[in-house]
Amino acid sequence: MAEFSVQSRLFWLLVLVGHAVAAAGWLVLMPRGFPVTHPRFWANVVIPLLLIAAMTAALVAARRGRPVVVRAVLVALAGMWAAAAVSALVAFPVSIQWRLAVPLGMAVAVSVAANASYLRPARLRRAVAALAALSGMLLGAALPWTQRAPDPSTYPLNEPLPRPARVTSIDDAQPQQPRTRRTGAALVQPNDGQLSISYGRYVLYVQPLLTFVSRSPDRCWTSLARRAHRVGPGRRLLATSDDGRMHYEDDGRSALLVTGDDSGAAVVAHAELPHPVYSHLNAFCEMQMAGHRKLAVSFSPCPDVSVDVLPSDYPVGRPARLAFLGGDGVFRVVEASSGEKGPFHELARGVLERGDALTITFHDDGRPFCTVTLDDFARQASTDLSPTAGWGLPMNAIEFSLAGERDSSPASVFITLAGTGVGRGWDSVGHRAGTYRNRMRVEFMAPATKATTATHGRVSSRAQRGISGSNGATVLRDPRSARNDMAGASLSTNWKQ
C-alpha cells in the first residue's frame, strides 16, 4: 500500500509538471505579436500563462499540505481535455477522427490522477468541483477553435475563364504530345504550364499557375490531414486553343497563355476554384533565377533599396528574407530573426495600392538586368494576419533565397496570396472560391556576355532542381525542406512544410 501511495503521488505530480512544461514550451515556441482581438493572442500567450499559473499554484498548495487545491486543478484539467475532444470533433470532423483518442486519453489520465490515494481524502465541495470542471470545460471547448482557419480573405478577380470555341483536345490515348513550345525567348512546357526564359547567361524559370501543395479538408492543421485530403487533385492538360492558350483541369479549371519576344514574355494565367481551398503551402507564382554572379532584388514600392538574395536555414539559423503587403497599404521587405521566424527586421518599405502593379527588379553585381511585373498580386492578396508568422505579418508573402551557399546558386522566389509558409506551425488559411488571374511581364534589360552553362539546365529535370507539386505542376527549388517529411506532402526535398 505504501508503494502504491508513492506511485499515486508521483503520477499526479507528473501530470501537473507535464502540463506546466507543455504550456511553457507552447508559450516559447509559438509566434507572438498578435493584437488582443486575435485568437492567437489568447492561444499563444494568455492560455499558456493561465495553465502555468494554475499548475504552479497546485504544486505550491501540495507542498503546503493543501491537497484540495491540487484536486480542484486536476478536475479542471480533466474537464478541459474532455471538452477539447468534443469541440475538436465538431471543429475538425475530417482531420480529427481517430486522433480523438488523444484528448480523451488525457482526460482519463487526469481523472485517474485526481482520484489518487493521496488526494482522495480531500473532499471538494460540489460547488467548487462544478466550478472547476466548468472552467476547464469552457477553456477546452475554446482551444480547438483558436486553431481553426478563419474565413478566406483573398480577393479573386472573378474574370470569366477563357473558354474558346476552337480547341485541339488532348486525348489520353495519344501519349506523344508536344513537350515544349517556343514563343520568342520563352520555352513553355504544356503538360504543366512551366516556362523558361533564356537571355544570354541568364535563365528564369516560372510556374505562373495557382498551385496548392499542402491543404486541409476542414480548416485544421495540414499535418493532421490524411494524404488524400492534403495533396488534392492533380493538374491535367485538357486542350490547347488556336491562339496557343493551354487549358487544364485541377481544382477546377485553369488556363495559360504565353507570348514572347527576344527579350522576355507576357503571361496570362487564370485559375478557377469552384470552392474555397484551405492550405498551408501554395503558390500564386514560383520563379527560379539562374546564371547570375551575385543577386539582389528591389521592389517598385521602394525602388531605391536593393536587397541581397542570401541563403537561409530551416527551422532555425540564417534568417530568411521576404516581402509582403500589409493591411495598412504599406509594402515591406523584412528579414527574420532565425530561419523564417520572427520578430522581423524591416529592410525597406513603400506604398503599394490595391490596384497597383508590383515590379520585382533583379540585379547582378549591382546592375539591374531583369524585371518581373505582377499586375494582379496586390489586388488579390490577403492582408489578414498570418497565424504562423505573428509580429504583424499578413498571409501574403514573397519569399526569396538562394538554393545553395555560393553567390551564383540559383535563387528561388515563392509568391503566395494567402499561406502559412512563414513562421511556426502547419495552420491552413483559405483562398476564396472564384477565378484568380496572374498577369506577368518578364523583361530582360541588358545583354549578358556569357552563354548559359549546362548546370542551369531545365527545371523539369526534377531529380536535380525540383519535384512535382500536388497538382502535377513543377515546384521549383527552395532550400528549406524539414517540414516536408513531417507533414508527408508530395514534395520530396525542397519545399518547407
**What's this model's pTM, rounded to 2 decimal places?**
0.86
Which of helix, strand or coil describes residue 386?
coil
Cell of 55: 499548475
In percent, the amount of the chain with pLDDT more than 90 equals: 76
pLDDT digits (tens, 9 = 90+) for 351-365: 999 999 999 999 999
Contacts of 298 (CB under 8 A, 6+ apart): 304, 305, 306, 307, 348, 360, 361, 363, 368
pLDDT at residue 131 is higher than 50: yes
Distance CA(227)–CA(484), nearest Å, equals 12
Rounded to a whole number of angstroms, the CA Rg of the chain reads 26
Q: C-alpha distances in angstroms, 460 versus 48, 262, 279, 389, 427?
A: 46, 22, 25, 31, 30
pLDDT of residue 169: 58
Residue 122 CB burial class (10 angstroms; 0-12, 13-18, ≥19): middle
pLDDT at residue 340 is higher than 50: yes
**Buried/exposed 372-403: b ≥16 CB within 10 Å, e otherwise:** bbbbbbbbbbbbbbbbbbbbbbbbbbbbbbbb
pLDDT at residue 496 is higher than 50: no
Per-residue confidence at 282, pLDDT binned at 50, 70, 90?
very high
118: left (phi over 0), alpha (psi -120 to 50) or beta: alpha
Q: Which of 132-136, 186-190, 203-207, 231-235 has the lowest mean pLDDT?
A: 231-235
Say if residues 135 and 76 touch (Cβ distance below 8 Å).
yes
Per-residue confidence at 10, pLDDT binned at 50, 70, 90?
confident
Per-residue confidence at 178, pLDDT binned at 50, 70, 90?
low
Cell of 229: 485530403
pLDDT at residue 457 is higher than 50: no
pLDDT digits (tens, 9 = 90+) for 151-176: 999 999 999 998 765 556 555 445 44
Say if residues 364 and 318 touch (Cβ distance below 8 Å).
no
pLDDT at residue 372 is higher than 80: yes
pLDDT of residue 358: 98
Q: How far is CA 399 from the centre of its chain?
A: 11
Average pLDDT over residues 402-411: 96
pLDDT digits (tens, 9 = 90+) for 460-485: 332 333 333 434 333 443 333 333 33
pLDDT of residue 1: 41
pLDDT digits (tens, 9 = 90+) for 14-40: 999 999 999 999 999 999 999 999 999
Per-residue confidence at 447, pLDDT binned at 50, 70, 90?
low
Average pLDDT over residues 140-144: 97
Average pLDDT over residues 280-288: 97
Other CB atoms within 10 A of residue 286 CB: 27
- List the one residue out of 463, 466, 340, 481 whose CA is nearest residue 397: 340
pLDDT of residue 167: 58
The phi, psi pair for 360, rounded to 5°, reads -105, 125
Say if residues 312 and 321 touch (Cβ distance below 8 Å).
yes
Distance CA(243)–CA(19), nearest Å, equals 63
Q: Which of 46-50, 114-118, 215-219 has the lowest mean pLDDT?
A: 114-118
pLDDT at residue 214 is higher than 80: yes
